[in-house]
Structure 1
Amino acid sequence: MIVGLRPGLTARLEYVVPDERTVPHLLPEAELFADMPAVLATGYLVAIVEWTCMRAIDGHLQPGEQTLGTYVDLSHQAPTPPGRPLIVDAELTAVDGRQLTFTVVARDDAATVCRGTHRRAVIDAERFNARISARATG
């Protein structure tokens, strides 16, 4: 890891929610989602939070390193309909070896949508992919 990877790094992501990121589109094979309200799905919210955290540390990893999400503790406090902007703020609050902890808050123009904690682990991508390949071949 590059020395500059330290608490205090931040990122902001502004994201306009498209219709295909709403609950009815979450898992097309799961028909129970189809009749749900057309608001930002929690599953997509988690991905947007992860993206924001990745942006906070962009440029602070060695070549060949990546991060993977390992823990998510988020509230989903308010619905965001499609077409509305979502603003996500992430701050790297702790670095413990290869474990990175972020505090996140997401808001739209009406309410706080989400707040919580996300952790990511720094991995060596080549070594990780080799382990996954070995698992896949049994």
Structure 2
Amino acid sequence: MKETLRLGLAHTMRYTVPENRTVPHLLPESPDFAARPEVLATGYLVGIIEWACIEALHGHLDEGELTLGTHVKLSHLAPTVPGSTVTVEVRLVEVDGRSLFFEVDASDEHAVIDRDRFEARLARQNEAARQ
């Protein structure tokens, strides 16, 4: 690791959610996933967050070094629909030997949603999935 890798290192990444990153596409061979609503899958969100952490480290690792995510503590609190942009902000908060710890905030432009509209959309999608 280079000396430039210091606590407080921060990075912001924006990701526009395509339809193929929604829950039904997470494990397409699973009929249980296929019947779920078309919102950003938590599994994909984890990958997007890891990508942002990797980007934050660009230029701060020595030749031949790379990182792998080994622990995630995450609360996915709201649905994100395709076409929305997720903004991921990461900040390096601890370095323990070769282990790096990031604090992360991810949000989209729809922090407040219309519940009736969302539930109606989910009902339409569920009905279509049953047909």
Fold-level similarity (TM above 0.5):
yes
1:67-88 Cα shifts (integer Å, max 9, x gaps): 0001000100000000111101
Aligned-partner SS, 2:69: strand
Letter in 2 for 1:101: F
Aligned to 1:90: 90
1:42-96 Cα shifts (integer Å, max 9, x gaps): 0000000000011111110010000000100010000000011110100011111
Aligned to 1:121: none
Aligned to 2:23: 23
Taking structure 2 as the reference length, the TM-score comes to 0.83
1:18-61 Cα shifts (integer Å, max 9, x gaps): 00000000011112100100000000000000000111111100
Aligned to 2:45: 45
Aligned to 1:67: 67
Aligned to 1:54: 54
| Percentage of matched positions with identical amino acids | 56
1:101-137 Cα shifts (integer Å, max 9, x gaps): 000001111229xxxxxxxxxxxxxxxxxxxxxxxxx
Taking structure 1 as the reference length, the TM-score comes to 0.79
Name the structure with the higher helix share: 2
Where relative contact order (Cα < 8 A, 6+ residues apart) is larger, the structure is 2
Aligned to 2:99: 99
Aligned-partner SS, 2:71: strand
Q: Is 1:14 the equivalent of 2:14? A: yes
Aligned-partner SS, 1:33: helix
Alpha-carbon distance in 2 for matches of 1:92, 1:111: 25
Alpha-carbon distance in 1 for matches of 2:92, 2:56: 7
Q: Which has the larger radius of gyration?
A: 2
